[in-house]
Structure 1
Amino acid sequence: MVLLAHGVEFSRRPLRELGWRLLSKMETQNLNEEVRATSNSVRMNIILWNCRGALNPRFHVTLKNLIDTHSPSIVIVTETRVGGERAKDITDRLPFDGALHVDTIGYFGGIWVLWKSDDVEVTQLAKTEQEIHVVVKVRALNSSWLLSSIYASPRLEERKLLWNNLASIAPLHELPWLLLGAFNELLSSRDKLGGNPLNLRRVQLFKDCLDTYGMVDLGFHGPQFTWVNKREEGHFIQERLDRGFANAEWKSLHPKAAIHHLARTHSDHCPVLLKLDDHGPSNLCRPFRFQPMWMSHSLFPEVVTDSWTEDGPLKSNVEKFIADVKIWNREVFGDIFQRKKKNRG
């Protein structure tokens, strides 16, 4: 299915003006009937990561570890701070044969959507500096849905434009819809620890936008917050800025989908893993033991630094380190207990 050979790109204008007329073509190709097929399980992963700059050598090491560990079919990288041919040069060296890019907003922003064509067929619909919208066809299920990859600007006025764009899309289609990205906005006091109190006006704008197109928060497993400012106690702030939303149709198509917050390395944002068919963690519980082998990994010092608050309470620091290093061991280092079993064998 090809809706548009090269897609449509437009900047700082409501998407309704041009690109979303393309959605009407879907109905003539019976796409809306196709996506209502009975849901089936599929072992497919999507990674979302606000990398805070793709030119840092640590970016490549961290992304490679994420790809090797989770075998994602789609990767969304935000705040790349790289655009144009330079972005293409980087993504051409990654193990994906499909890629879309949007340029930065000055020094900020940049979105890449990468995919493996053996797993999914991706059709570009439209993009702006803050969003890339595509139709994803999952080959194993022969089902399709709308994926919107987001990097919301740090500036409120530009975020308002994004909210307006998204709100204008909802009445134009009946597709299962998944929204993943860095939203730079909060929904409740539970999404924040430290710093200034919530701006209720901004929260309401974000909520109104989500309610307009019937989006539901997909929740998460793992650490509560996805971003930390890495400052000393008294100025320490943590927030849940990176998240996923879906409408009822998408949740019905993938009822076992679940989001996991992974260990934070390189960036001050943790990677987010979406499993379309999640069977949950093992119920086995082990007492925590520090593993000397961890110190041989180049990223281990970052786990310690990110987990430890200078002058913070010892008990809180230890608990935070234990929680983070368990996730890092499982998601980045590779389960050390499985390695030991293999070595004994």
Structure 2
Amino acid sequence: MAKIKRKLERRQGMIVPSVRWSRGLTLLWKDSLLVEVQTYSLRHIDAIITKDDDNKKWRFTGFYGHPETSKREESWKLLVNLSTRSDLPWVCMGDFNEIIHKGEKVGGGERPKWQIRAFSSTINRSKLRDMGFVGSEFTWSRRLGARGWVRGRLDQALVSTNWASLFRRVTLYNVVTCSSD
């Protein structure tokens, strides 16, 4: 991670180390930002951001949904809990390991409707919405041998209405990568 920090010219940052399946979480930022980390765990880093030049305050949460479906409800409880902690404009982004609707996955077995509904309901209860994106429709893929490929949009950027109003010109770009995110 130190090499990546240097390459991106980011001296400031926080790293939550990897444990077992988790690859860990990292939040890096420019010197022109004041970042106050509020809470963190293996599944999130929650911070308040203040920009030097205009004093805008907003909230950023990096999120990693539990990779095991049976434990995903823990992630949804965390997200709802985080939503109650502040009224600041909020963006929550990361690998949620879930889709919002069935069109966000092709190949492999069909995702159960209850599972999709649980995530969508969590987003609504958290008063967030999908920010949208430009670029690749899918953020994750895996080859299933002779059965072909399975692809999904597991990485999302979810925003509060007041965040979207504050940052009207922000665009999320999904870029194609050949390695893990």
Q: Same fold (TM over 0.5)?
A: yes
Equivalent position of 1:116 in the other structure: 30
The total of aligned residue pairs comes to 180
Post-superposition offset of 1:139:
2.3
Matched ranges for 1:255-334 at <5 A: 255-265=168-178, 267=179
The alignment-based identity, stated in percent, is: 22
Out of 140, 163, 167, which is 1:254 matched to? 167
Out of 123, 133, 150, which is 1:210 matched to? 123
Q: In structure 1, how many angstroms separate the alpha carbons of the residues matched to 2:172 and 2:27?
A: 18
Cα deviation digits, residues 258-298 of structure 1 (max 9, x gap): 11111323x155xxxxxxxxxxxxxxxxxxxxxxxxxxxxx
Equivalent position of 2:140 in the other structure: 227
Q: In structure 2, how many angstroms separate the alpha carbons of the residues matched to 1:116 and 1:218?
A: 23
Equivalent position of 2:154 in the other structure: 241
* SS in structure 1 at match of 2:84: helix
Distance 1:262 1:251, change over 3 A: same
Q: In structure 1, how many angstroms separate the alpha carbons of the residues matched to 2:40 and 2:94?
A: 14
Contact 2:102 2:116 in 1 (8 A): no
Q: In structure 1, how many angstroms separate the alpha carbons of the residues matched to 2:86 and 2:15?
A: 24
Equivalent position of 1:101 in the other structure: 15
Matched ranges for 1:118-157 at <5 A: 118=32, 120-157=33-70
Out of 87, 92, 115, which is 1:174 matched to? 87
Contact 1:97 1:116 in 2 (8 A): yes
The one-letter code of the counterpart of 2:31 is S
Post-superposition offset of 1:159:
2.6
The one-letter code of the counterpart of 1:176 is P
In terms of fraction of residues, the more helix-rich structure is 1
Distance 1:170 1:107, change over 3 A: closer
* SS in structure 2 at match of 1:198: coil
1:184 aligns with 2:97: yes
Please list every run of 5 or more consecutive structure 2 residues that lacks an aligned counterpart in the other structure: none
Contact 1:147 1:179 in 2 (8 A): yes
Post-superposition offset of 1:171:
3.0
TM-score of the aligned structures, taking structure 2 as reference length: 0.90
Post-superposition offset of 1:205:
1.4
Post-superposition offset of 1:231:
4.5
* SS in structure 2 at match of 1:105: coil
Contact 1:109 1:130 in 2 (8 A): no
Post-superposition offset of 1:218:
0.7
Contact 1:91 1:99 in 2 (8 A): no
The one-letter code of the counterpart of 1:204 is R
